[in-house]
Amino acid sequence: MKEFLFLIIKTIHLNFTDLNLIEPIAKAIQEQGYTNPTPIQERSIPEILQGRDFLGCAQTGTGKTAAFAIPILQNLSKNKPSNRNIKALILTPTRELAIQIEENIQAYGKYLPLKHLVIFGGVKPGNQEAALRKGVDILVATPGRLLDFISQGIISLKNLEIFVLDEADRMLDMGFVHDVKRVIKLLPQRRQTLFFSATMPAEIQKLANSILNNPVKVEVTPVSSTAETINQSVYFVQKEDKLDLLAHILKNDIAESVLVFSRTKHGADKIARKLQKDGISTEAIHGNKSQNARQNALNNFKSGKTRVLVATDIAARGIDIDELRFVINYELSDVSETYVHRIGRTGRAGAEGNSISFVDGLDLLNLKNTEKLIGMKIPIVKDHPFHTDNLVAQKRDSNNKPFTEGSDRSQSQRSGAPRGGNRKPATPGASVGFKKPKNKNFTRKK
Ligand code: AMP
């Protein structure tokens, strides 16, 4: 990070009208209900319009998609109409992100004659290929499917003018960096490059240095501080009461759409089944579901057809839902950063956001680590029928169950932990102290 003299943006109060956007784009933005550009947009839009390369250290939720999509649309609309060669390529790691980016391009470019398309793996290539053959100006792609089409001669990048690498650090995490480098080798030397990454590990910095030409560098609020804008709370509950607590909250306290995070696919299905049984419209998305099923579930949730979406972290990557006000962490992740990503699904672009985390004995250690990361204690809400003061810190085994001797031998041996070392309650008698709900008419105080 030190190698870059990132400019930390101060809050300036620009209006979209100050950005000299062409009328069709200004109109489309207005229809989206945006009045002011977000900090990254304030910096990126004028610079990208001038043709500068751009390095944005920003995560999803900062408005970074519009930060590149709007100036790309404006720059390309200046071109004379020509044959439909790919002029802008946006490379992004996941199908969900790719789809969302294209939805954004569609929204901001709805009054422009530019053609755009999204391609990704995991579905049959036929429809994508047919659409490509008709000609595309702006292509949003995941790396594998893009390379497949290139190798078959269906896609050529020789007329490319603008290249966007989105979520570069996640490309690295997901093992796509070699594919990305292969794509980069196929790009024309003369081009504009826009590079976005939430974090800047050394390898990503190196990649950025190698493909950017004197870029404007902008960093917006880092991941661990987005939490400040979100009203966070923790509910202490025994593991066996979590499903009932969830149903209780959804029936009594929250009347709106809620995104629930589950550690496991099996857990996500179980939660969805329970809520459906209780008459709460719910769907689950996770890696075992087909791409179509995931997209349908996401669409149903976005349109309000289903009220609750239960997702695993992988399936929820980059999910972008306007006006989502509630996120519930059914369990806390072992990776503390995941908490910040999860709650970052709400409170987008300055909107009000709320996150509730269920904490049982298995989550206590993760809670401690999460609080350390975000630098604050998350307030505990006790005023609910399933509250317990008697949680016993326990380790989790790989099946999401309390670690006991033999339950997860391989894991304990790998980590060098003493077998069965966590069986004892931290305080004598602590595991038998759960009180059943007293007040059935409980409603959470705001
Ligand atoms: P992104 O960081 O691209 O995932 O965007 C996060 C969310 O902010 C999306 O739901 C966008 O629709 C929304 N958004 C983007 N730009 C603005 C803006 N200028 N004003 C209000 N919301 C915005």
Measure the CA–CA gap between 231 and 355, rounded to whole angstroms: 6
Confidence bin at 421 (pLDDT 50/70/90)? very low
**pLDDT at residue 402 in the model:** 65
Q: Measured from the CA of 41, which atom of ligand 1 is nearest? A: 19
State whether 204 and 314 are in the same domain: no
State whether 192 and 266 are in the same domain: no
State whether 209 and 239 are in the same domain: no
State whether 238 and 142 are in the same domain: no
Closest CA to 185 of 160, 166, 154, 216: 160
Distance in Å, CA 375 to ligand 1 centroid: 26
State whether 249 and 374 are in the same domain: yes
**pLDDT at residue 173 in the model:** 80
**pLDDT at residue 17 in the model:** 86
Distance in Å, CA 37 to ligand 1 centroid: 9
Measure the CA–CA gap between 52 and 71, rounded to whole angstroms: 11
Q: Is the confidence at residue 109, as pLDDT, over 80?
A: yes
In a domain, 445, yes or no: no
**pLDDT at residue 403 in the model:** 59
In a domain, 93, yes or no: yes
State whether 70 and 95 are in the same domain: yes
Confidence bin at 82 (pLDDT 50/70/90)? low
In a domain, 298, yes or no: yes
Q: Is the confidence at residue 38, as pLDDT, over 90?
A: no
Residues 6+ apart with CB under 8 A from 136: 84, 86, 115, 116, 117
Higher pLDDT among residues 336 and 279, named by residue? 279
Q: Is the confidence at residue 135, as pLDDT, over 90?
A: yes
Q: Measured from the CA of 61, which atom of ligand 1 is nearest? A: 2
Higher pLDDT among residues 49 and 390, named by residue? 49
Pocket lining: 320 vs ligand 1, CB cutoff 6 Å: yes
Among the listed ranges 36-40, 196-200, 238-242, 419-423, which one has the minimum average pLDDT value?
419-423
State whether 394 and 315 are in the same domain: yes
State whether 307 and 388 are in the same domain: yes
Sheet holding 308-311, edge to edge: 230-236, 353-359, 326-329, 258-261, 308-311, 282-285
Closest CA to 198 of 179, 221, 182, 214: 221
In a domain, 289, yes or no: yes
Per-residue model confidence as pLDDT tens digits over 152-209: 999 999 999 999 999 998 898 888 999 999 999 999 999 999 999 988 888 999 999 9
**pLDDT at residue 409 in the model:** 34
**pLDDT at residue 321 in the model:** 72
- Specify the DSSP class assigned to residue 380: B
Residues 6+ apart with CB under 8 A from 144: 121, 176, 179
Pocket lining: 221 vs ligand 1, CB cutoff 6 Å: no
Final residue of a domain: which of 220, 255, 279? 220
Confidence bin at 341 (pLDDT 50/70/90)? confident
Full DSSP string of 410-428: HHHHHHTPPTTTT-S-SST
Cα angle 410-412-414, degrees, rounded to a multiple of 5: 65
| Per-residue tokens: 96 | 């969900």
**pLDDT at residue 343 in the model:** 86
Per-residue model confidence as pLDDT tens digits over 299-317: 999 899 999 999 988 777 6
**pLDDT at residue 288 in the model:** 82
State whether 242 and 300 are in the same domain: yes
Pocket lining: 353 vs ligand 1, CB cutoff 6 Å: no
State whether 193 and 243 are in the same domain: no
What is the average per-residue pLDDT within 366-379? 87
**pLDDT at residue 205 in the model:** 93
Return the best residue to mutate from 16, 21, 34, 97 for the ligand 1 pocket (most ligand atoms within 8 A of CB): 34
Q: Is the confidence at residue 277, as pLDDT, over 50?
A: yes
**pLDDT at residue 418 in the model:** 31
Q: Is the confidence at residue 120, as pLDDT, over 80?
A: yes
What is the average per-residue pLDDT within 72-83? 84
State whether 138 and 277 are in the same domain: no
In a domain, 53, yes or no: yes
Measure the CA–CA gap between 20 and 16, rounded to whole angstroms: 8
Confidence bin at 23 (pLDDT 50/70/90)? very high
Final residue of a domain: which of 220, 238, 266? 220
Q: Is the confidence at residue 66, as pLDDT, over 90?
A: yes
What is the average per-residue pLDDT within 12-37? 87
Kindly report the CATH number assigned to the domain that includes residue 166: 3.40.50.300
What is the average per-residue pLDDT within 325-353? 82
Q: Are the beta carbons of 128 and 117 closer than 8 angstroms?
A: yes
Confidence bin at 129 (pLDDT 50/70/90)? very high
Confidence bin at 41 (pLDDT 50/70/90)? very high
In a domain, 130, yes or no: yes
Confidence bin at 372 (pLDDT 50/70/90)? confident
| Per-residue tokens: 103 | 């939805």
Distance in Å, CA 66 to ligand 1 centroid: 7
In a domain, 63, yes or no: yes
Smallest CA separation from ligand 1 atom 1, residue? 63
State whether 145 and 175 are in the same domain: yes
Measure the CA–CA gap between 381 and 254, rounded to whole angstroms: 15
Q: What is the mean pLDDT of the chain?
A: 83
Higher pLDDT among residues 378 and 335, named by residue? 378
Final residue of a domain: which of 169, 195, 220? 220
Pocket lining: 31 vs ligand 1, CB cutoff 6 Å: no
Number of domains within the chain: 2
**pLDDT at residue 222 in the model:** 52
Residues 6+ apart with CB under 8 A from 333: 261, 263, 313, 339, 342, 366
In a domain, 430, yes or no: no
- Kindly report whether the global pTM for this prediction surpasses the value 0.75: no
Higher pLDDT among residues 79 and 120, named by residue? 120
Confidence bin at 348 (pLDDT 50/70/90)? low
Domain span holding position 18: 3-220
